[in-house]
Structure 1
Amino acid sequence: MMLMPLVVMLFTAMVYAQPAINEIRPQSNRPGRFLSLPIPQKCANRPKEFNYRGHNYFYSGHVQAHANQRVDWLDARNICREYCMDLVSMETQDENNLIFRLIQQNDVPYIWTSGRLCDFKGCENRRDLEPKALYGWFWSANRNKMAPTNQVPDGWSFNPWSQTGHKKVRQPDNAEFDINGTTESCMSVLNNVYKDGISWHDVACYHQKPFVCEDSEELLRYVANTNPNLRL
């Protein structure tokens, strides 16, 4: 099922956050930001670290321009989008395992994904999204809904959401809301932060992390149509 296109204006904070929860959320000096448009030349020269089923991917830590970057969720999306990519969406177990192996083999502590909670304007009064913690998650890169968070996704052999976290309950737990009133609206893959192996967690979007980008067919088509002589 497709969700309506995401019009993003998030209030987020620029803070070097630890993998666990900060107890005080800093005030943001960046009150409104939007999704970036692709930059054709960057799309043509986008990093192509590995390929899976026709999509190119890269981990920010392996690209010189981004190797030392830790950014919030929206900045991560926008960096990817300038390359005609978006944050990774792990929609199959094979793709998920590919990303888990990258994290394990390179001892990556955590990454951003395109996973997002539909808790912004346009998501009101949607019975199919309630309760949000179970039914309100989707992949923002392509607007596809995720499986209910308490179920094993179709075609998978396990539920990738962690069984523990800050509150020692199954994810997503929106734990930071109880600490500083911030909703954990973005999805990260954490590497054993809670002694739970590599697994999915809901995280407040202002935290700063490295990221994995994946080709966006939508953005590549757009740039190809508007730049017919550009080799992508």
Structure 2
Amino acid sequence: MYSIVKFAFLFVAVQSVVSIPANEDEKTLDLRFEYGNATYLISSMRLDWYHARNYCKVQGMDLVSIESVGENSAVMNAVSDMLTESFWISGSDLYQEGAFYWDSTGRAIGPFQNWAPNEPSGDRNEHCVELNINVNHLWNDVNCDLEKLFICEMNPCV
């Protein structure tokens, strides 16, 4: 009896952490594409920035860091059919206000940048970077707790 109770508790604990779908209809339909040596995943789930970052890590990936014009074009082409959505990317200034960096690499954002006009805005409650639907998917800093679609990236080990 003790083993059954222990198993039931463990199953409930694991299910709440990883959100195991209850049935086939709840599974997500993620889109994958490649650019250069990297593989990308556009998630069909809406999560806050922190959970999106963790979801990518569970997949063996990171939130995308868009570091070149070519990579930006590839991402924009992939999301072009999703014109009503905004997407999380890995940019953040969580560790130092106004000093944006790529969470996935730890490097400062730049030299390539694709900010919307007047962004980043400097609002003390906006620490995470999105591809903003309202300005043709240019970058915008927003509150990290908002739920959005997101893009993961996996670069091969060198």
Task: Normalising by structure 2, report the TM-score.
Answer: 0.73
Matched residue type, 1:197: N
Report deviation, 1:174: 3.3
2: CA distance, partners of 1:83 / 1:76? 11
* Residue in structure 1 matched with residue 150 of structure 2 by the alignment: 211
Runs (4 or more) in structure 1 with deviation over 6 Å come to none
Paired with 1:73 and 1:112, the residues of 2 have a C-alpha distance of 6
| Residue aligning to 2:67 | 91
* Structure 1 residues 81 and 93: alpha-carbon distance in aligned structure 2, compared to 1, 3 A threshold: same
1:48, CA displacement in angstroms? 7.5
Shift of 1:100: 1.6
Counterpart of 1:58 in structure 2 is: 41
Contact 2:37 2:155 in 1 (8 A): no
Distance 1:57 1:89, change over 3 A: same
Structure 2 residue ranges without an equivalent (≥5) = 1-29
1:74 alignment partner in structure 2: 50
| Structure 1 unaligned spans of 5+ | 1-46, 62-68, 124-131, 148-152, 164-169, 178-182, 222-232
For 1:138, give the aligned amino acid.
Y
Match of 1:171 among 108, 119, 143: 119
2:139 counterpart residue number: 200
Matched residue of 1:201: which SS?
strand
Which residue among 115, 135, 141 is the counterpart of 1:161? Answer: 115
Deviation for aligned residue 1:142: 1.0
**1:99-153 CA distances to partner (integer Å, 9 max, x unpaired)?**
1222223324100000011x43xx5xxxxxxxx43xx111110111112xxxxx3
Per the TM alignment, residue 81 of structure 1 is displaced from its structure 2 partner at its CA by 0.3
CA distance in 2, matches of 1:109, 1:73: 15
Once residues 101 and 114 of structure 1 are traced to their aligned partners in structure 2, the CA distance between those partners, rounded to angstroms, is 19
CA 1:85–1:48: 2 relative to 1, 3 Å: farther
Alpha-carbon contact 2:31-2:42 (below 8 Å) kept:
no
Query: Secondary structure of the residue that 2:77 maps to in structure 1?
Result: helix
Q: Structure 1: how far apart are the matches of 2:137 and 2:46? A: 19
1:186 aligned residue (124, 128, 141): 128
The answer for the alignment partner of 1:140 in structure 2 is: 103
The 5 A counterparts of 1:104-123 are 104-117=80-93, 119-120=94-95, 123=96
TM-score by length of 1: 0.51
In 1, Cα distance between equivalents of 2:85 and 2:31 = 22
Cα contact 2:48–2:148 (8 A) shared by 1 = yes
SS of the equivalent of 1:189 reads: strand
Give me the whole-angstrom Cα distance separating, in 2, the residues matched to 1:197 and 1:58.
20
Paired residue type of 2:122: N
